[in-house]
Amino acid sequence: MKRFIILFSVILFALASCQDDNEPVLTDTGTVVDYAGAGNCGIVIELDGGSRIQPMYYPKGFVFSQGQRVLVEYVEMNNIKNSCDRGIPCEVSYVEELSCAPYVDLYFENYDSLARDPVHLHEAFMDGTCLYVKVSYPGGCQDHTIDLARMHPWTASSSTVPTFEIRHNANDDLCEGWFTKELRFDLSDLIEEGKTEFVLTAKLLNDEVYNEIFELN
């Protein structure tokens, strides 16, 4: 009986492997959405073709971040049942970042159009022409959005150093889970404008305000 069980397991494994091998390798471009804290979901790629996939396996060392544009080669894993219903589970064999996420322009008339809920800021640094930001926040009952806003000066005589602010919308989430997101924002246009530095600010959980100057190479 024991030998029969082992043989049966080997056959099932072989069948599963054959099914995976027969799945076509698909190629598409899309935008990364981080659903951390929402319905047991995490990273989902909204493909330009209209479908959505969940990378269950992907190349080691690659970091997906909210708003990122990517090119992916993947195989759908239709035999896997996932508690997140926002996309098809898949194995990504190749992924390439096409661009990091764009920032939002805020002017005097729409300064308050994005919420300013606090975050815990782990780190922020320039990675090439992209600003990398890692933040955490409490929640678990609502979708959270995090944007990078360029705060354009009210008057022409104001400082010429660009100022950016991390804008977090918690959607009145009162749950106490703890979630972390990694984000990358495209600042290449600052270099094209001839800027050499910028200021990053953020409202923090301890009622303090983060304020740091970054240099552009």
Q: What is the pLDDT of residue 157?
A: 59
What are 136-179's pLDDT values in tens digits?
999 988 888 999 999 998 766 556 899 999 999 999 999 999 99
d(CA 93, CA 57): 8
Q: What is the CATH number of domain 24-99?
A: 2.40.50.500
**Mean pLDDT value of segment 201-214:** 96
d(CA 63, CA 73): 16
What are 36-79's pLDDT values in tens digits?
766 678 899 999 989 999 999 999 989 898 889 999 999 999 88
Intrachain domains 24-99 and 104-215 with the same fold: no
Domain ranges of the chain: 24-99, 104-215
β partners of residue 181 = 135
**Mean pLDDT value of segment 175-201:** 93
Q: What is the pLDDT of residue 7?
A: 40
Is-contact 136 123, C-beta < 8 A? no
Q: What is the CATH number of domain 104-215?
A: 2.60.40.2370
Predicted TM-score (pTM) of the model is 0.76
